[in-house]
């Protein structure tokens, strides 16, 4: 039998061993968590700088188009003064002028002072004929890089201090584009990371050596923005997380050896849980109202899928839909949502021609030859008109344009309403939207949240609304949570639909149908009060 001293020694040794193991485990977890926090901040920083880059590029394109349509004689005093007024009104540009064969004929800074003796060569060219110059000597400011863009005979020079306000501790960025001749990535602005072209030109995140990278690409502007930070700086910013995890790990040393294997096993089983849930029809569908902003009347609903796993935890659609996409069975979720929507709202859709249910479809649905036949069959079985069922396609899914366009054409031929969801995150061009031939765009909630702030997204909103009006597209605004946001869009003369918590959160079908009935009763009562029985209503 062990003596008391022996038991104390064993207890001390066990405590030291378990505490040490827990501390080591806490260090590893804290290190990983700190890196994840850094990746999240890096993603946010990349999005922020990309939005500013998109805004400045859009302004330069519009400016060059205006300059090339100038009615003044080339490089006349009147034209130079006209260009100066344009530059004065711009936000991101510092100079403009005319250039022929790489020679500057005139500019807003030098006027018609001869500068044409020197011929400058562009560092890259784009498919649309755009030429890009770097560090033109006449426009250098201190040691700042200067980028100039030329279309036709007009050129503009970016203000090198555009991105000073976006500086963040330890964060770096580089904006790149592909040269049409060399097919190589060329850096436009920012720092110069020592990394392969693939990292700079492909959307995603990566860790190369001791550096974290986050790249965002714009299909509309043929360029990419890469934000990066060293792991040492990232860990330095998040050092407090490591200390907390080490302390917690040491305290719960014995528990950590059990907890983490359980967590790992649980995460590994998510895919199988999801498959079982789909087969058992255990996913639920909720519906969020979409209202006509001018009247407040509910005219549409978006069907949204929800899932609670076998451990009674609600799993975000961003997580489980992505898993289904990666594993190739997201089409089963689409079928489930469609089946629920037709079951829940079949009679309502047959009775109310003005009302529509919208479902989200994935990229694989667009490419699946069985998707439209499946859609036709379910609608036929439910005796619901295609006009009563809309489809929403996330903007990033339309990257494979020809496949997307063919499917959209077939859907619209059948009478389906087609909308581009999360519009603005991929910055589709006007021509691109025209080719897709959709019915509507849904403006991403990131733009809505920016209303009332100084965010660059607000300045893009009028351009999006004008573009939609030009193409004859309906606009649906997502994420409206406040009256200020609603009033911003209500001030427009366009027919705008709105979706957000201000008008209703996603709710089960029964509650949604009750809300529809209450709205109909209210409207009927209102009509009876305005036109009582026996009243004579004149029509013209």
Please identify, in words, the CATH class of the domain defined by 269-530.
alpha beta
- pLDDT of 5 above 80: no
Question: 3-state DSSP call for residue 469?
Answer: helix
Confidence of residue 21 (pLDDT cuts 50, 70, 90): low
pTM flag (> 0.75): no
| 214-236 residue pLDDT tens | 888 876 666 788 888 887 887 77
Enumerate the β-bridge partners of residue 298.
291
What pLDDT does residue 27 have? 62
- Condensed to tens digits (0 to 9), the pLDDT of residues 67-111 reads 999 999 999 999 999 999 999 998 889 999 999 888 898 999 888
Residue 177 has a CB neighbour count (10 Å cut-off) of 23
Please report where in the chains the tokens 């990349």 appear, as a residue: 46
pLDDT of the residue at 540: 33
Residue 216: CB atoms within 10 A of its CB come to 22
**Among 182-196, 374-388, 508-522, whose mean pLDDT is lowest?**
182-196
Phi, psi for 496 (deg, rounded to 5)? -110, 135
Residue 477 reports pLDDT greater than 80: yes
Q: Rounded CA gap, 224 and 47, in Å? A: 11
Distance of CA 290 to the CA centre of its chain: 20
pLDDT of 418 above 70: yes
User: How does pLDDT run across 56-70, given as a tens digit for each residue?
Assistant: 888 988 999 999 999
3-state secondary structure of 353: coil
Structure tokens at 69: 């349509």
Instruction: Tell me which H or E stretch contains 188.
Output: strand 185-190
**pLDDT for 134:** 83
How do 356-361 and 314-315 pair as beta strands?
unpaired
For residue 453, how far is the Cα from the chain centroid? Answer: 19
What single-letter DSSP state applies at residue 141? B
- State whether the Cα torsion 194-196-202-207 is positive or negative: negative
If residue 143 lies in a helix (H) or strand (E), which one and from where to where? none
pLDDT, tens only, 286-295: 999 999 999 9
Write the CA distances from 480 to 25, 54, 318, 503, integer angstroms. 43, 24, 20, 8
Q: Are strands 474-477 and 440-443 parallel, antiparallel or unpaired?
A: parallel
Please give the mean pLDDT across all residues of the chain.
82
Higher pLDDT, 363 or 341: 341
Question: What is the arithmetic mean of pLDDT over 380-387?
Answer: 95
> Alpha-carbon distance 449 to 452, whole Å?
8
Bridge partners for 212 per DSSP: 207, 229
Domain boundaries, the chain: 10-268, 269-530
Say which range, 428-442, 456-470, 473-487, has the weakest mean pLDDT. 428-442
Interatomic CA distance for residues 418 and 359, integer angstroms: 10
Radius of gyration of the chain (CA): 29
């Amino acid at each position: 039998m062990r003596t008391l001293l022996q038991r104390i020694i064993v207890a001390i040794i066990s405590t030291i061993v378990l505490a040490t193991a827990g501390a080591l485990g806490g260090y590893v977890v804290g290190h990983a968590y700190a890196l994840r926090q850094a990746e999240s901040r890096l993603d946010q920083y990349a999005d922020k700088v990309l939005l500013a880059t998109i805004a400045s590029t859009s302004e330069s394109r519009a400016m060059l188009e205006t300059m090339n349509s100038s009615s003044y004689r080339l490089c006349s005093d009147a034209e130079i003064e006209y260009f100066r007024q344009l530059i004065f009104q711009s936000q991101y540009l510092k100079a403009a002028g005319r250039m022929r064969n790489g020679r500057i004929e005139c500019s807003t800074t030098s006027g018609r002072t001869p500068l044409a003796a020197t011929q400058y060569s562009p560092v890259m060219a784009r498919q649309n004929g755009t030429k890009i110059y770097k560090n033109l000597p006449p426009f250098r400011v201190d040691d700042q890089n200067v980028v100039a863009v030329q279309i036709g005979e007009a050129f503009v020079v970016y203000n090198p201090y555009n991105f000073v306000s976006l500086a963040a501790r330890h964060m770096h960025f580089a904006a790149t584009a592909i040269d049409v001749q060399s097919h190589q990535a060329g850096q436009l602005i920012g720092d110069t990371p020592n990394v392969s072209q693939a990292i700079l030109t492909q959307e995603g995140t990566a860790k190369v050596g001791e550096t974290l990278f986050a790249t965002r690409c714009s299909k509309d502007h043929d360029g990419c923005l890469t934000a990066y930070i060293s792991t040492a700086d990232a860990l330095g910013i998040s050092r407090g997380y490591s200390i907390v995890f080490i302390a917690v790990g040491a305290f719960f040393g014995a528990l950590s050896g059990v907890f983490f294997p359980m967590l790992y096993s649980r995460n590994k089983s998510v895919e199988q849980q999801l498959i079982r849930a789909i087969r058992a029809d255990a996913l639920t569908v909720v519906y969020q109202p979409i209202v006509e902003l001018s009247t407040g009347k509910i005219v549409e609903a978006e069907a949204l899928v929800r899932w609670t796993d076998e451990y009674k935890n609600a799993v975000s659609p961003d997580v489980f839909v992505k898993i289904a996409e990666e594993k190739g069975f997201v089409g089963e979720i689409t079928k489930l949502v469609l089946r629920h929507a037709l079951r829940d709202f079949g009679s309502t859709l047959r009775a109310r021609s003005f009302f529509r249910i919208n479902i989200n479809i994935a990229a694989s649905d667009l490419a699946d030859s069985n998707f439209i036949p499946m859609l036709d069959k379910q609608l036929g079985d439910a005796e619901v008109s295609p006009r009563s069922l809309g489809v929403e396609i996330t903007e990033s899914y339309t990257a494979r344009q020809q496949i997307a366009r063919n499917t959209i054409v077939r859907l619209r031929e059948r009478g389906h309403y087609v909308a581009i969801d999360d519009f603005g995150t991929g910055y589709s061009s006007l021509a691109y939207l025209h080719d897709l031939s959709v019915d509507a765009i849904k403006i991403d909630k990131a733009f809505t949240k920016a209303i009332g702030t100084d965010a660059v997204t607000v300045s893009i909103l009028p351009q999006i609304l004008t573009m939609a009006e030009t193409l004859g597209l309906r606009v649906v605004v997502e994420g409206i949570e406040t009256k200020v946001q609603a009033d911003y869009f209500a001030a427009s003369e366009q027919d705008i639909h709105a979706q957000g918590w201000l008008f209703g959160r996603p709710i089960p079908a029964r509650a949604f149908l009750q809300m529809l009935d209450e709205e109909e009763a209210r409207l009927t009562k209102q009509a009876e009060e305005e036109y009582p029985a026996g009243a004579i209503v004149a029509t013209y």
